[in-house]
Chains A and B, each alone.
Chain A
Amino acid sequence: MSAVLIAILVLLSLAVVFGLVLGFAAVKFKVEGNPIVDQIDDLLPQTQCGQCGHPGCRPYAEAIANGEQINKCPPGGQSTIEALADLLDVEAVPLDAEHGEESIKTVAYIREDECIGCTKCIQACPVDAILGAAKQMHTVIVSECTGCDLCVEPCPVDCIDMLPIETTLNNWKWTPPVPGVELIATDTGRSVAHASSKEGASS
């Protein structure tokens, strides 16, 4: 009988101790906000274009954290979807065409001769990448432009073009190697020729 009592007492005291520890930890190490939203926001391209239907990348990140589909970000494209799928441990799905297609990166360009200085594009730009003043010519700070398109719509004289980012020596990329033609059993001559001329193979 006493053994049972001792066991109960021991367990009870342990429960009390752990309860206190957990309660203290819950108060002391309380996490403010939802950390997953920050992580999702980090993965999103931050174009702030609103193509996902949310007013900016962070609102979409919050929506994703609340269970929205991860395939609504055309600027991020498939790589973003995969990164999100990886982070959230869900299935990577193809991009939802309803919100737009993944296109080449563009940058806004103002045809400065035609600009009337209305400042509408400046108000529309989510990242303050357009410089100008009322009745003064405006111009795009190319390095800050996210290519979100939002300035094109408000322009009353349609002087804003979305130009693809020009490939220069600095941003040129090696193309991924195309997988070689699969050899079939009878295609032996090639491999023989290859073996004999090994020296220049890797140039």
Chain B
Amino acid sequence: MSKIFAFHGGIHPPENKKQSTRAPIRLAPVPEQLTIPIQQHIGAPAKPCVHVGEQVLKGQMIAEAQGRISVSIHASSSGTITDISPQSVPHPSGLEAPCISIKTDGQDQWIPHQGLADYRSLPPLELINYIRNHGIAGMGGAGFPTDVKLHLGDDHIVNTLIINAAECEPYITADDMLIRERAEQIVGGIEVINYLLNPTHILIGIEDNKAHAIRVLEDALRHTKLNIDIVVVPTKYPSGGEKQLVRLLTGVEVPSGRIPADVGIVCQNIGTVAAINQAVHHGTPLISRIVTVTGGAVGKPQNLEALIGTPINDLLETAQVNHNTLSRLVMGGPMMGFTIEDDAIPIIKTSNCIIAAVKEEMPPAPPSQACIRCGLCEQACPAELLPQQLFWFSKSREFEKAKHHNLFDCIECGACSYVCPSNIPLVQYYRFAKNEIRDEEAEQRKSDQARQRFEARQARLEQAVLDKEIRRKERAAQAAKTQAAKKASSETAAQTPEDNIKQLKTAAAITRTKLKKALSALEAAKADSSDNIAQLDLQYKQAEHAAEEAQKALELAESGIQAPATSVAPDIKQLKTQAAVARTKLKKAQQALKIAEDKGHDGADTLRATVAQLEEKSVAAQLVFANAETDAASSSSSNPLPALKESTDKALGTFKKAEAALETAIANSSPAAEKMKAGVEKLKAKYTEALAAQEAAETLSAPKATEAPAQSFEPQPTARTPADLKALKQNVSIMRTKLKKTETLLASAEADSEQAGELQQEIVRLTQLHKDAKAQLDAEEEGKIKAAAAQGIDLKKLKIDAALARAAVTKLERSIKKAQEAEPAELNALQTELLAAQQQATQFNNTLSQFE
């Protein structure tokens, strides 16, 4: 006999065990319906591996263990799976949890099974796995998966194996009866565990109130070679608690928050040991257990071997329950069990006792009174805690303090509540406090997780924005590069300073408008005597500066264009020489004509005609030269308004044309060319004068520059002629259409006399206007024809000649085409003819263009 130690506190409640030990263990009948919860243990619920409607045999696995801490579930009897759904389960909450329902067929037919012939030939790991597959879980209290406990040898040095047969709670005799009737199973189970854990010594802790069981156990142990000690401990509640039993048997205190394995001790419940034996030697999974059915309302209190999943009601019926006296149904012992409301709740692997109590046995809890600080609870506490303090903290929700007073070492044995003279439900308070603390911790974990996720998300979003920005910049840089490349290529391909100038001009215009705006704002501010005058002033100055800059840039760019403009000079020179050549030719022809006239030659007439032609040519060359020169001069001047300038230049050109034509018409004889030249020079002087005026106007004020040159040129009447002619023609046609419209209107509105009169008046007016316009046009045209006639050429005739020449050209072109296809011999002759005709046509056209 080894030494017995003692643990602090403990109580001695009435045992009430005798009632159920009088009858041997009986097999409970197979119920019609089995309800097997898929979670009967601590850890993860098992995963159902059958489907509704499937036929299952006794011992067949119906739910598979999932994860490390889990236990598989087997069919307790043969039958059909009828349902896999939430049902009421044995739990203080009375909640529903997923269960597998089996409708038994009454055959109770086993699945083929057999035990291991020699478990010692298996490696420990395989044996542990075998035990796991047979669904063995702790049958004493929490239902901890046994295989996990048997694995403890891997990372702990196990020197003591303790078999818990204390069974300290009142009423319960399941383990007692198991030892009395099936001691050999226990010894077999201990041998298996010994093989797996290989402890140095094995202790069986048993309370001294089970004398019969101790005797049987001692007999059974005589046949084993193992060193097993039976340690009889004094009856005291809660000596069956794991930590208390360890203390009792070894004197070692399991540290707070640790397991016995940490001090080299493994505890196994005696029922579990027997179940291991059955699994290893007979191959039967854990499908039944011994349940004590007792209590005042039960006719025959006894121990029943019930199938897992048997409804409590069936067991109560077997034990002949008296429903009239039954006041309270308790699952488990009176100290740590819980009341159940529904008697259809099934037996599970951890159900060791059912108490059908009458009212006198378990009266409703009396009302609690104030704590009187008697300290009895502290004396009773087997965990050496301060129940009173824990009560205060739990009640006032000071959970942190309760935690610091080692609330979590409380085993909820109920000893403190039992001794409390004020009937305070202390354990309820502790359970509540534990729940709250666990809840808070879970929430803290969750909130930490949420924070992490939130921060990760924020970081990700920020990074995304940054990445986007970087990508955008990259794209912009790329775009700028391609733009630059494009620009460079376009600049090298074709210099377009005009575009540049346009851009600069718009920029200048923009800055000018800005300047104006700033000025107006400044003035407004000044008028209002506002505070921000200084600011506006600054803005105005800035705008002014910008405008100046833009203007400067524009001028610079325009002066840059002057260089190409000077390249017109050689052209002008060419034209000059052409004009000079034409003049000399004319002089020669005139001299020839004089000689011919003097001699009275026949060819004088023809010579005269050629002189006239040459004269025309000379005039034309001169004109072209004059035009080019004026153009060059105008382009060299820095006029910001090219459109206007162009129009004025055109006007100037045409004016010159007209003047030249007039002069040629007047000076029919030989000195005509010199006179014309003089006229041209005169006009040039005039033009330069006008240009100077324009420039002056420009420098004076930029916006006014647009009007100044227009005004300066308008008074010149000669500039009008060709433009006027066109305008007059248009005018006439407009009048004609108007007249026609009103006439049609009149025709349609003749019925309406009033309108008709008005319309008639309108028509008269329009006819007058039309006539006036036509007369004007006619007069103008006549003047032109006269001018032409004075030059010795009939304009009408010229026109007709030109048209004829053109027609001849087209005709010849057609015949050439035909000849190309049919007669290549005639081609050369035709081509020469065509050239001549073309020359003639261009000559006529040139002459004609002078007058139009």
Contact = CB atoms under 8 A, between A and B. Distances in A.
B328 to A, nearest CB: 8
A194 B367 CA distance: 9
B432 A144 contact: no
Interface in A105-159: 126-129, 144, 146
A169 B14 CA distance: 32
27 contacts: A42-B444, A44-B447, A46-B447, A47-B450, A57-B454, A58-B451, A126-B457, A127-B453, A128-B453, A129-B453, A146-B447, A168-B95, A169-B39, A169-B91, A169-B95, A173-B435, A176-B429, A180-B368, A190-B367, A191-B366, A194-B363, A197-B363, A200-B362, A200-B363, A201-B363, A202-B418, A203-B414
Interface string B332-373: 001101010000000000000000010011110111110000
A46 B360 contact: no
A191 B365 CA distance: 11
A193 B363 contact: yes
A48 B366 contact: no
Given A203-B337, A203-B362, 9 more contacts: A56-B454, A127-B454, A129-B453, A179-B368, A180-B423, A197-B360, A197-B363, A202-B335, A202-B414
A197 B454 CA distance: 57
B148 to A, nearest CB: 19
Nearest to A181: B367
A198 B91 CA distance: 25
Nearest 5 A-B pairs (CB), nearest first? A180-B367, A46-B447, A194-B366, A200-B362, A180-B368
A57 B14 CA distance: 56
Interface in A24-56: 41-42, 44-48, 56
B423 A203 contact: no
Interface string A161-203: 0000001110011111101111100000011011001111111
A44 B431 CA distance: 25
Nearest to B97: A169
A46 B454 contact: yes
Contacts of A44: 447
Contacts of A168: 95, 97
B93 A169 contact: yes
A189 B782 CA distance: 147
A175 B339 CA distance: 15
Interface residues of A, number: 42
Contact of B432 (A146, A176, A191): A176
B166 interface: no
A155 to B, nearest CB: 19
Contacts of A144: 449-450, 453
B362 A46 contact: no
Contact of B427 (A128, A146, A202): A202
B141 interface: no
Contacts of A42: 444
A173 B439 contact: yes
B170 to A, nearest CB: 8
A128 B456 contact: yes
Contacts of A203: 330, 334-335, 337, 339, 362, 414
B443 interface: yes
A175 B432 contact: yes
Nearest to A41: B451
Nearest to A148: B450
A109 B261 CA distance: 44
B425 interface: yes
Interface string B71-98: 0000000000000000001011101010
Nearest to A175: B432
Contacts of A129: 453
A177 B95 contact: no
Interface residues of B, number: 51
Interface of B: 13-14, 39, 89, 91-93, 95, 97, 330, 334-335, 337, 339, 357, 360-363, 365-369, 414, 417-418, 420, 423, 425, 427-429, 431-432, 435-436, 439-440, 443-444, 446-451, 453-454, 456-457
Contacts of B330: 203
Contacts of A173: 432, 435-436, 439
A86 B13 CA distance: 43
Contacts of A175: 432
A167 to B, nearest CB: 7
Nearest to A176: B432
A202 B449 contact: no
Contacts of B429: 176-177
A121 to B, nearest CB: 14
B447 A45 contact: yes
B533 to A, nearest CB: 41
Contacts of B91: 169, 172
Contacts of B449: 144
Given A197-B360, A201-B418, A126 B435 contact: no
B240 to A, nearest CB: 16
Contacts of A172: 91, 93, 95
B450 A202 contact: no
B380 to A, nearest CB: 10
Contacts of A202: 334-335, 414, 417-418, 420, 427
A44 B13 CA distance: 47
Residue in B89, B439, B450 with the greatest tally of chain A CB atoms within 10 Å: B450
A169 B86 CA distance: 11
A177 B428 contact: yes
Contacts of B97: 168-169
Contacts of B357: 200
B278 to A, nearest CB: 28
Contact of B417 (A45, A126, A181, A201): A201
Given A129-B453, A179-B368, A181-B367, A174 B92 contact: yes
A175 B337 CA distance: 17
A127 B330 CA distance: 45
Contact of B450 (A127, A174, A199): A127
Contacts of A182: 367
A193 B189 CA distance: 48
A162 to B, nearest CB: 16
A48 to B, nearest CB: 5
Contacts of B92: 174
B335 A201 contact: no
Residue in A169, A183, A193 with the greatest tally of chain B CB atoms within 10 Å: A169
B358 to A, nearest CB: 10
Given A44-B447, A57-B451, A174-B435, A199 B13 contact: yes
A177 B450 CA distance: 32
A123 to B, nearest CB: 10
Contacts of A179: 368
A199 to B, nearest CB: 5
Nearest to A146: B450
A46 B448 contact: yes
